[in-house]
Amino acid sequence: MTNIKIQSKLPSVGTNIFTVMSTLANEHNAINLSQGFPDFPSSERLNELVSYYMQKGFNQYAPMPGLPVFREQISHKISSLYDISIHPDEITVTAGATQALFTAIATFVRPGDEVVILEPAYDSYRPSIEVNGGIPVVYELKAPEYKVDWQAVQGLFSPKTRMIMINTPHNPTGTILNKEDLESLYNILKNTNIIVLSDEVYEHLIYDGESHQSVLRYPGLRERSLAVYSFGKTFHNTGWKLGYCVAPPALTAEFRKVHQFNVFSVNTPMQYALADFLQNPEEYLVLNNFFQEKRDYLVKVMEGSRLLPLPSKGTYFQLFDYSQISDEADRDFAKRMTIEFGVAAIPVSVFYSSKRDDKVIRLCFAKKEETLQKAGELLRTKIG
C-alpha cells in the first residue's frame, strides 16, 4: 500500500462499458455484438504486404508526420473521393483515430476552454476534453431521429467556446450529416474563431446510396477543421491502431508539435503496406455494399424478436428500440440480454453525460453471417 495522495484528473471515470459487457459475454458464453470490431480477418494481401516490409527490414522509426509515400497515397485517395486537392503535408499519420482526437484536443483546448459535443458521443470525447482542462458543453440528440438543431447548438456558444466536435457517420446512432447540416454548421461558425474536430472514421461505411459529407468538401469549414480517419475501421484490423488527421497548414503545424511528443511516429511496415494497398481503390470503395448487406441481414434475422430497428445510414452499428419488450433501464436490459438471452449489447445511455435512457441498445453487425444468424435465433427464441 502507498501513502501517496493522488488527486485523479478523471475521478468519475471507471471501467468502460465495452470492457464490462465483453467480460460479461465471456463469463456467460454469449455472442458478443457489443464491441465494435469484426470477427472476420483483414485482407490476406494486406497482411502479406506488412510481412513483406518487415522481412525487408523496414522496422525502424518512420518520419514523425508519416511516410511521404503513404501520405501521398492518402492524398490521392481524398482527392479522388471528394474532388479536392489535399497536400500530403496537410496529413499526419497517427496511432489510430482516438490518438488523433486526443492530440487535437490537447493541442487547441486550454484550461477553461469550452468544447461543444453532440451526445450520444464516442466515449473518449469527454474524458479527453476534461483531462486537458476543457469544459464539455453538451447538445443532446434525441431518439429516434437523432437530428441536430443547429440554431440550438449555436445557442450553446460563448466567448469561451474553442471547439466543436462532430462525428459522421455517427457512433453510436448510425446517422449521418447531410449537405444541409454541413452548410448550417458553417453558417453558425463563420463569424467565430471556433475550431471543428470532425471524426470521420466510418467515411466508407455509408448506405442506401448516400454520400459522405466530409468537412473537407466545404472550404469555409476546411480552413478551421481537423478531420480524423481510421484504417482499422476500414480494413477490419482495429488492433493495428493506424489513422490520420487532415488539417490546413497552420492547424497541422500546431497539431504536430503535440503529436511528436505523445507518439512521435507510427508503425513503419504497416505504413508501407497500406501505401501499396491503397493503390487499388476497390479495396475500400466496395465496403459500403459489403456492410450494407450485413446491416440488412442483421435486421432480417432479428424479425420476430420485438426489437425495433432504428434507421442506420452508416457505421457498422444498428440501434434497436426494446420498449415493446421491457421498461427496465437500458443498462439492466443489456446485462439481462447477455446473461439470459445469450447476446451482448451496449446500452446507448452510456454515451450520454446525463445517462439519458430512450430504451435503445446498440448492436455491432461487423460479424460473420453465421454469428449474426445465431444471435437472431437466440433473441427470437428468448424474447420473440
In this structure, the chain runs to a length of 384
SS3 167: strand
Q: What is the pLDDT along the chain (384 residues), one digit of tens a residue?
A: 567 888 898 888 877 888 888 899 999 999 999 988 888 889 999 999 999 999 999 999 999 999 999 999 999 999 999 999 999 999 999 999 999 999 999 999 999 999 999 999 999 999 999 999 999 999 999 999 999 999 999 999 999 999 999 999 999 999 999 999 999 999 999 999 999 999 999 999 999 999 999 999 999 999 999 999 999 988 989 899 999 999 999 999 999 999 999 999 999 999 999 999 999 998 888 899 999 999 999 999 999 999 999 999 999 999 999 999 999 999 999 999 999 999 999 999 999 999 999 999 999 999 999 999 999 999 999 886
As annotated, the residues of the chain forming the CATH 3.40.640.10 domain(s) are 60-280
Q: Domain 60-280 belongs to what topology?
A: Aspartate Aminotransferase; domain 2 (3.40.640)
Superfamily covering domain 17-42+285-383: Aspartate Aminotransferase, domain 1 (3.90.1150.10)
Domain with CATH 3.90.1150.10 in the chain: 17-42+285-383
Beta strands in the chain (DSSP E): 31-32, 91-94, 114-119, 135-140, 161-167, 195-199, 225-230, 243-246, 308-309, 317-321, 343-344, 346-347, 360-364
**Distance separating alpha carbons of residues 260 and 116, to the nearest angstrom:** 26
Q: Which three cell numbers stand for residue 256?
A: 504536430
